[in-house]
Amino acid sequence: MSEDCIFCKIANKQVLSDIVHEDEHVVAIKDINPQTPVHLLIVPKIHIPSMDELRPEHSALLGHIHLVAKSLAEKEGLEDGWRLVINCGPNAKQTVFHLHVHVMGGRPMMGQMA
């Protein structure tokens, strides 16, 4: 845990948040500034600052995050499609330096991903 990390504090129940899923590895919350009708964040309970700090021992956690994302998308009724987004670093607009995955959907997405 990083003492000043907001996501560490949420995962450790030191800061209240709208939790939609929790298990031993991750917590999923509603984004406080949603960009789509459904905008959830999946946050690992261990502090990993960004994708740049991933190591081989994190591979099971990443797989688990993807399965949680699929489950959440199903629960939210996103049968017409949904998007996963991971921002890595300041140029990608990562604002909280604790790895987290955005699950977004509920409307057609703008633009194309190349």
| CA–CA distance, 57 with 70 (Å, rounded to integer) | 22
Q: How far apart are CA 102 and CA 114, in angstroms?
A: 18
Catalytic residue among 39, 98, 100, 102: 100
Taking the C-alpha atoms of residue 64 and residue 21, their distance in angstroms, rounded to an integer, is 13
**β-strand partners of 53:** none
SS3 state of residue 27 = strand
Respond yes or no: is residue 100 known to be catalytic: yes
Which residues have a catalytic role annotated?
100
